[in-house]
Copies of this chain bind each other. A is one copy, B any other.
Amino acid sequence: MSDAPRLRHQVCFALYSASKAATAVYRPVLEDLGLTYPQYLVMLVLWEQEPRSVRELGAELGLDSGTLSPLLKRLEGLGLVERRRSAEDERRVDVVLTEAGHALSAKSKAVPQRLADAAGLSSGEIEQLHATLAKLTTALNSSL
């Protein structure tokens, strides 16, 4: 007993819980779009800029091909993206949005507000949280 680390005192558990809670809030909203949360993240990157290689998507999101390959296959199955071998470098696969993929962008605009509404934090707190998380993530990733 006793001097073992306590669950409620652990920042790692607070992060884990908050992250799960956030995706749980998004889940029903994204379900209306026909997307899972990681699929939504991929679409966010593509809505910013396309085409993107699998490699670039992985760098943005911190995911490897073992995660992205099947995920992109599902997005392609949904008719939202297309994959094609890059002409300049035959190792690369470029991912581009289909017309349906572009169209979904409009329907997605209301998504982030959902989290803000449910968060119960002031915009100042949100901003500070965001900054601290960014700093933390950078430090943790660079310690590996």
Residues of A within 8 A of B (CB): 1-7, 10-26, 37, 41, 44-45, 47-49, 60-62, 105, 108-109, 111-112, 115, 117-121, 125-126, 128-130, 132-141, 143-144
Contact at B4–A137, with CB atoms within 8 Å? Answer: no
Residue of A115, A129, A140, A143 contacting most chain B CB atoms (<10 Å): A140
Contact at B21–A105, with CB atoms within 8 Å? Answer: no
* Cβ contacts A to B, 17 pairs, < 8 Å: A1-B49, A3-B109, A4-B47, A4-B105, A4-B108, A5-B47, A11-B119, A11-B129, A11-B133, A12-B115, A14-B133, A15-B18, A16-B37, A21-B141, A120-B135, A120-B136, A129-B132
